[in-house]
Amino acid sequence: MTTVYDVPASELINKVAQRLKKDKKVTPPEWTSYVKTGTHKELPPLNKDWWYTRCASILRRVYIDGPVGVERFRSFYGGRRNRGSKPERFVKGSGSIVREAVQQLEKAGYVRNAKKGRAISPAGRSFLDNVADEVKKGLVKEIPALEKY
């Protein structure tokens, strides 16, 4: 059985984002068109469907790291902040974006609340594994040498 670990992360995240958008289990809030993803960013994301990509990325991170909380996600999605003439420093990403995305994934049934953070639910594990299998089959069609893996 193909799992999340067997396919490239970027391919998996793009495919999961497309599926989340098509299934309409996750919907972007009204404020997503003008919000920055953290204080280290100067502009909002250029991709109009960035919300689905972020939800797919969060779902993958819960699968890999789970159970995880909002603070660990904030650290994961943080970056270096330009402070002018002072040296750059690491700052955490937006907690509101992560919190809203995790709550939507929980309502969709892909994530469940654990004692210390959120963990992947059986439905979420099945969803990601099925998408990973589709991604692997697509990659094998492009590069037949991958079939032995």
Q: What is the mean pLDDT of residues 98-112?
A: 90
DSSP H helices, 32-86, are 50-65, 70-76
For residues 94-119, average pLDDT: 88
Question: What's the pLDDT at 85?
Answer: 92
Q: What is the pLDDT of residues 25-67, one digit of tens each?
A: 888 888 888 888 877 787 778 788 888 999 999 999 999 887 8
CB-hemisphere CA count at 13 Å for 32? 19
Cα of 61 vs its chain's centroid, Å: 6
- What would the pLDDT profile of 120-134 be if each residue is shown by its tens digit? 999 999 999 999 988
6-10, 11-15, 78-82, range with greatest mean pLDDT: 11-15
Domains by residue range for the chain, with CATH: 4-148 (1.10.10.10)
Q: What is the pTM of this model?
A: 0.85
Examine the pLDDT at 97 and tell me if it is beyond 80: yes
User: What pLDDT, on the 0 to 100 scale, is given for residue 149?
Assistant: 65
Q: E-assigned strands of 35-129? A: 79-83, 86-91, 111-114, 117-120
User: Does the bond joining 67 to the residue before it have cis omega, within 30 degrees of 0?
Assistant: yes
As a whole number, mean pLDDT of residues 55-83 equals 88
Give the model's pLDDT for residue 24.
Answer: 84
- Chain-centroid distance of CA 1 in Å reads 22
pLDDT at 23 (0 to 100): 87
Residue that has been written with the tokens 């953070």 in this structure: 117
